[in-house]
Amino acid sequence: MNDKELTIFCDGSSLRGAGGGAGFYVESKQRPITRVSIPLEKGATNNEAEYQAVIGSLRYLLGSEADSAIIKSDSQLVIRQINGQYSVTDKKMVMLHSVAMDLIENLRSKRWKLVFEHLPREFNTTADALSRIGALLSGSRED
């Protein structure tokens, strides 16, 4: 890991009776930099929340001084869609995938090195907790 490389752990949650939430945890050289919880609209599916976590992390990178990142998620679907291994057919997922790919293209045009990796759920506990906080905050908002 070079001095300007970040590792980001992403997760999304959809809690019945609450709402959707996305979360990500950023570290550099295994030292925490920031933790983010994002409340989403009620009715957001888990897959939509997973994409929102990746999108949030990519937006974070746009303001970062780093030059490379490894983005890890326990959503095999999202990681494989971003890496081009799976097609995207659901209308909402097509839109979210497009937003993510536009952000990726923007970062790569600035010479960013980005890697997207799947990791087992048990190694993503911090991002999972952050996404659940976002979902709980979503459920407490008045629409």
List the structure tokens of 7: 């590792």
Which domains, and CATH codes, for the chain?
5-140 (3.30.420.10)
Provide the 3-class DSSP secondary structure of residue 97: helix
Query: Residue 75 above 70 pLDDT?
Result: yes
pLDDT digits (tens, 9 = 90+) for 9-51: 999 999 887 789 999 999 998 899 999 999 998 888 999 999 9
Query: Residue 1 above 60 pLDDT?
Result: no
> What is the C-alpha to C-alpha distance for residues 21 and 121, in angstroms, rounded to an integer?
16
User: Parallel, antiparallel, or unpaired for β 20-28 and 5-14?
Assistant: antiparallel
The pTM (predicted TM-score) of the whole model is: 0.93
> What is the C-alpha to C-alpha distance for residues 123 and 130, in angstroms, rounded to an integer?
14
User: For the chain, what is the mean pLDDT?
Assistant: 93
